[in-house]
Structures are given as C-alpha cells and as structure tokens.
C-alpha cells in the first residue's frame, strides 16, 4: 500500500476531532517519542500491512499497532473499512460525535449506558444492532431477556440515528451508530480514543434466548467469566482489560447484595470484601430479601465520577433538529431518576487516570464491588494483568483501545448480508 492509498483509506476520521491533526509518513515504524501537551496524531505506514497510531494529549501517550494483513482482515473485520461513509454520508460520524457530546452535557450517565449497550450487542451474535430491536412478530427481542432488563440508552441511539437520517437517509447503519457513539462515550468518560472500521449492516432479527443464557454474570467465578469471554475470542488479558469499563457508572444493589448479607448461602458477608468497603456498601444497600439479579456484568448505568479525565469540546456545534429538542427534556428526566436508585458509584479512588487504573488498584485492596471483578485477582494470569494495569495507566489505555476495537469487530454483517434500518428499533 503506497502512501497516498494509506492517506485516502484513513482519511481524517481516524482522529475525527477539529483540534487534532493527522500526519502520514511511509516506512517509519517504532514507539513514538513522548511529547508535551498536544493534540497530534501521527499515523505511520509500513509496507502493505502495518499501521501504527500514537496519541499525545496532556502528556498521556498511547501507542497502537494494528496488523492489517489480509488474513486478519477477513477474520476480524470482514469488509469493513476506515471512513466507510466518506462519499455516501461524509458528515455522518461528525453528527454522531456532536450529538453524543451535547447529550453528555445534559447527562454524563450516557457514557456507561452506551458502553454497556455496545457490549450487550456485540457479545450476542456480534455487533449487528440486534439488541436495539423492539419485540415484534418473528422477533424475540434481546432487550426483553432478563439480563437486558436494566439496559439504558435506546433513546439515545434512536436520537442519534434520527439526526443522521435527516442528512443521509437510509445510509448509516444502527450498528455503526452504536459502536461510534460508544467510542465517543469512552472518550468523554476519560478513556482512550481508538480507531474504528465502519460499514456494518444491521441484523434482521434478535436473539433473546442467547442473551438470556450467554451474557456474563456479575456472580460468576473466575473460570466462568474466562470461559464466557473465551467463547467470544477474548483471552485472559483482554478479559481483564474489558472489565476496566467498570471504572465508570453506578452498579445497583441487586447485583452485589448477596456479597453483603448471604454470600454462598452462609448468611455471612463475602470474606474477601474489604471491611471498610463492606460497611459502606451495607449503609447504601439494605437487605431486601429479593432474588439476586442475574443481569450481566459489563458496564453500568449512572453518572461517572465528576473527576474523570473527560475532555472539553469548546465550540462544538450542538444538534438543533426537532428530534434533538424533543428528546432532551425526556433524557434529563431519565438521567435524574437514575440517581435515585440505590447503588454504588464505580468511581474508584487511587492513582492515575480515573478511567481504569484506580479500578485495578482497588481490586488489589479487596475493594471490588462485584464478585466477578474481585475474582480477577484470584487467577495467576489475570492477577498479573490486574497488577500491571494498576501500576501502568498507559499500558491499560493502549490495551483497552485494542480490546474495544476487537469487540467492535465481532461477527459483523457486511453487504450484501443484513440491512440498514431507518429506525433502529424496527426491521426494515
């Protein structure tokens, strides 16, 4: 691949922010030098297969290596490509970006909500927008499965899709809207940028039974958690990495009440819980005598910590369509109601960025809120990565970016398979 072809393929959407620039140079590979505060992205191309991306922002440096050979292309992303909509809907990604930013100002809890939503979609039969479908004749909706009963963010995706439809009707898929919106949510919550391929198509159906039985449980032991993620192609390191998404949001009491009062049917608390954390959790979550929820474990509703390293985007245009104006009051109401649900804020305290590192640091102190999280310290391999991420913010950010890229490429549908829905909740 020659330099001009690399430039055309990556386009500016590889780092799609007005305050950043992209520079491309051929045959220059290696870990970039650390720079002072800036918003510069250098994209280096080597031969026909290797693209490296370095990001420097306020002394936070991330280095990604993407092996782009033909075998991996087929296995990991099908026919997806960078900036797929550059001709058919050149403003599409910017519309998604601006709408998420505007809604985030109204309710920052959209970040963990969108993170959880994209995980639930991609984990069940791939990133195909199937979780967004409403029940209908011939459609057993995933959103009605017990693990998905507490999912939020459907209205957010519907709003973003309506914004895109006003400019490019019938072009951008709901599955692409979801993965792109989730990436923006990660950045707003203080997490890393990661490049995404686009060109996904939407599923014609939904998979309620598969979602019911195959989404990971917050009560799973380590072997069960690892087996669940391994079934989707994630190794132990990647599993530990993805669970770093538990850095943000609020987890409701029903997901961990058994650890406080009746762990393993003993009528005693989980002995692995830090005593001070146990007292705090009991003060917020009284014994309810209701069945413990089996809802899955990744990503939670509620506001992320106000101290998260969320960037500011001065000067970004706000969505002004009638759809946006109509939904904002409803979104504000739903945002307020979330704060009234008893639970624990996932804003762990500790060194480093609020996104990731403090979460792992807390696990080492026995302060994991969920049993499945705390179990990561029990395994030899997983424990290695918990300790590594607790001490190295940049390593975690790099690995999290790569893991989210892999998650976003799971079992995607591309043309001629699937469809592009005009409404994300209904089959076209």
* Separation CA 407–CA 200 (nearest Å): 13
Alpha-helical (H) ranges within 49-173 are 70-72, 92-106, 110-123, 154-167
- 3-class DSSP state for residue 26? strand
* Separation CA 11–CA 345 (nearest Å): 39
130 known member of a binding site: yes
Q: Which helix (H) or strand (E) holds 384?
A: helix 380-391
ω into 274 cis (within 30 of 0):
no
Query: Measuring CA to CA, how many Å separate 67 from each of 119, 342, 362?
Result: 23, 44, 33
* Separation CA 282–CA 387 (nearest Å): 28
CB-based contacts of 198: which residues, under 8 Å, 6+ apart?
Answer: 80, 81, 82, 83, 84, 85, 93, 176, 179, 180
120 flagged as catalytic:
yes
121 known member of a binding site: yes
Q: DSSP string covering 273-301, please? A: S-HHHHHHHHHHS----SPPP----S--B
* Separation CA 180–CA 14 (nearest Å): 12
142 known member of a binding site: yes
361 known member of a binding site: no
Q: Is 382 left (phi over 0), alpha (psi -120 to 50) or beta?
A: alpha
In terms of Cα–Cα distance, which of 387, 346, 385, 347 is closest to 364? Answer: 387
342 known member of a binding site: no
Catalytic residue among 120, 219, 252, 361: 120
Q: Which helix (H) or strand (E) holds 312?
A: none
Query: Which residues carry a binding-site annotation for heme b?
Result: 246
Query: Which residues carry a binding-site annotation for Ca(2+)?
Result: 121, 126, 128, 130, 142, 314
Q: Which residues are catalytic?
A: 120
């Amino acid at each position: 691949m020659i330099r001009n072809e690399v430039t055309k393929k990556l386009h500016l959407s590889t780092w799609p922010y007005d305050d950043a620039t992209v520079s491309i140079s051929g045959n220059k590979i290696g870990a970039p030098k650390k720079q002072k505060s800036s918003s510069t992205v250098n994209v280096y191309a080597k031969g026909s297969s290797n693209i490296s991306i370095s990001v420097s922002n306020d002394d936070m440096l991330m280095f990604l290596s993407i092996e782009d050979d033909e075998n991996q292309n087929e296995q990991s992303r099908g026919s997806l490509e960078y900036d797929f909509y550059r001709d058919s809907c050149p403003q599409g990604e910017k519309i998604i970006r601006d709408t998420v930013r505007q809604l985030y100002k109204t309710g920052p809890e959209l970040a963990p909500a969108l993170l959880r939503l994209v995980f639930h979609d991609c984990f069940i039969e791939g990133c195909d927008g199937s979780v967004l479908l409403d029940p209908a004749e011939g459609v057993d909706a995933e959103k009605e499965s017990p693990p998905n009963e507490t999912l939020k963010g459907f209205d957010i995706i519907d709003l973003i899709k309506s914004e895109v439809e006003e400019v490019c009707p019938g072009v951008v898929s709901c599955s692409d809207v979801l993965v792109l919106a989730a990436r923006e949510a990660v950045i707003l919550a203080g997490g890393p940028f990661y490049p995404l391929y686009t060109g996904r198509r939407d599923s014609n159906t939904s998979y309620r039974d598969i979602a019911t039985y195959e989404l990971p449980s917050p009560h799973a032991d380590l072997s069960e958690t690892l087996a669940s993620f391994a079934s989707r192609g994630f190794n132990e390191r990647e599993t530990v990495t993805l669970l770093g998404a538990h850095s943000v949001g609020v987890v409701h009491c029903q997901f961990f009440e058994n650890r406080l009062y009746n762990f393993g049917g003993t009528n005693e608390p989980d002995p692995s819980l830090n005593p001070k954390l146990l007292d705090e959790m009991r003060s917020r979550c009284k014994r309810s005598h209701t069945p413990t929820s089996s809802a899955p474990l990744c990503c939670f509703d509620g506001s992320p910590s106000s101290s998260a390293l969320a960037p500011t985007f001065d000067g970004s245009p706000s969505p002004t369509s009638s759809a946006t104006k109509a939904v904002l009051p409803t979104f504000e109401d739903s945002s307020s109601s979330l704060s009234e649900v008893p639970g624990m804020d996932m804003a762990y305290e500790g060194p480093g960025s609020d996104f990731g590192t403090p979460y792992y640091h807390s696990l080492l102190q026995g302060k994991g809120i969920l049993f499945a999280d705390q179990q990561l310290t029990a395994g030899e391999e997983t424990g290695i990565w918990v300790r590594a991420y607790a001490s190295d913010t940049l390593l975690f950010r790099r690995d999290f970016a790569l893991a989210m890229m892999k998650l976003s490429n799971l079992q995607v549908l591309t043309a001629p398979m699937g469809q592009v829905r005009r409404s994300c909740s209904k089959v076209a």
